[in-house]
Amino acid sequence: MMKQQDVILKVENVSKQYRLGVVGTGTISHDLNRFLAKVTGKEDPYLKIGESNDRSTKGTSEYVWALKDINFEVKRGEILGIIGKNGAGKSTLLKILSKVTGPTTGCIKYNGRIASLLEVGTGFHPEMTGRENIFLNGAILGMTKKEISRKLDEIIEFSGCERYVDTPVKRYSSGMKVRLAFAVAAFLEPDILVVDEVLAVGDAEFQKKAIGKMQDISSQAGRTVLFVSHDMGAIQNLCTKCILLERGKVVLEDNTNKVISFYLKNKITKNNNYEFFKGNLFLKSFKIFNKNKNIVDLVLFDSPLVFKVVIGSKKEILNDFIFEIKIKSDKENILSTFSTYLNKYKFHSNGGFSRELTCEIDSVSLIPGKYYIDLIIVKYMEDGKLSSLSDVANFNVIESNNFIFSNKIKPMYHGNFIMKYNWK
């Protein structure tokens, strides 16, 4: 049984309600009704109404629940990942945990000092220098001037902004602000560090550096980290436990691999919106499978991979076509192409209203990182007419036990591919 002193953060029945289309809590009549309910000891009448936060549908109520009955607890030294689609309530939850806003109902129990990094330059005064903002943020966190001075050199060195530390923050790029803000939050020894997707603003080198620092403060200093990200590779490498939010509710809380697997298997994509050739051909589905035939967007380095594509048509498919899958880097550079033309594969003209295509890759040799997929169709019978779809899917390559990557590996220096090799 878990000892109570091991729990550093406990969230009990937390909900957050918003009224759409207005600034504030609502109209005067709504505020008056709420006030009367409060002074007479009755329940707030507007807590009984409202809909879940589904952005894709038009609701009938002007009240929505961004969060509804959230319950979980975090032990000291744990790194908790929070994942979910856009609009699931992740950022709202972190703002409540960081005391930026309060919950509508429920309570949160803390057992330590909390620091948060929610948006670029959170808590920074634009007219003050980087050095002055370090002392300002430290004071907000409850640190003494002596404590901040002791950590000052480490903060500046980690941020990589030494040359500009005496320049007003308003002249910093967004990446520089993130570097400095993260360094301040991580080095001023909070008991709980809350980090939102903001790290995505930094470059790949800094992201790995920041993740390494979060691992250090958890394992060595015994501090707790709450981490929100859409990068499943970062979540898997960093987090010891994970929760999945959907429409403001906790769908699953378990170990990281189980939660990520559940999330990816149940994630819905509307691929039938993608059309080739003005709707004559369209993409019905595109799926990525691992060697165990599970749908994934996390791929182990040096492991096999399978792409499965289903092309639909409004009329029978009688003519052959060339089909290509292109893998791109985040800089839109094409890294590899898998083409039916290059390997002399031809389809059989057997009619029908759909075609399923399978492309098997023996081994993924891309270095760890995020990659994107374009699809190309070239018709034979229409003068080589070409139609393409961009960014229909993406996947993350992560480290495997077969190859050890250092945190300093860079595409610019090492390239995007690491071939199999042996030294003798």
d(CA 355, CA 418): 34
pLDDT tens profile 93-142: 988 888 888 888 888 988 888 877 776 666 788 899 989 988 988 887 77
Handedness of CA 408, 410, 414, 419 (dihedral sign): positive
Q: Which ranges of the chain have pLDDT less than 70? A: 1-5, 19-39, 41-62, 119-122, 198-204, 264-280, 317-320, 330-332, 347-352, 379-386, 401-413
d(CA 394, CA 415): 19
Euclidean distance between the first and the last CA atom of the chain, given in angstroms as a whole number: 52
From the list 174, 18, 12, 14, the residue with the least C-alpha distance to 87 is 18
pLDDT tens profile 129-169: 989 988 988 887 777 888 889 989 988 988 888 888 999 98
- Quick one: pLDDT at residue 399? 77
- Quick one: pLDDT at residue 167? 92
- Quick one: pLDDT at residue 184? 82
Count of other CB atoms within 10 angstroms of residue 356: 10
Task: Give, to the nearest 10 degrees, the angle between helix 145-159 and helix 130-140.
Answer: 130
From the list 154, 150, 170, the residue with the least C-alpha distance to 162 is 154
Compute, in degrees rounded to 10, the torsion defined by CA atoms 249, 252, 257, 261: -80
- Quick one: pLDDT at residue 243? 93
- Quick one: pLDDT at residue 21? 52
d(CA 15, CA 93): 9
**Contact by Cβ (8 Å): 128, 28:** no
**Contact by Cβ (8 Å): 224, 74:** yes
d(CA 294, CA 273): 24
DSSP 282-326: EEEEEEEE-TTS-B-SEEETT--EEEEEEEEESS---S-EEEEEE
**Contact by Cβ (8 Å): 83, 245:** yes
Count of other CB atoms within 10 angstroms of residue 137: 22
- Quick one: pLDDT at residue 42? 65
Alpha-carbon distances of 12 from 71, 172, 242, rounded to whole Å: 5, 39, 17
From the list 389, 289, 373, the residue with the least C-alpha distance to 330 is 373
- Quick one: pLDDT at residue 268? 38
- Quick one: pLDDT at residue 404? 63
**Contact by Cβ (8 Å): 187, 155:** yes
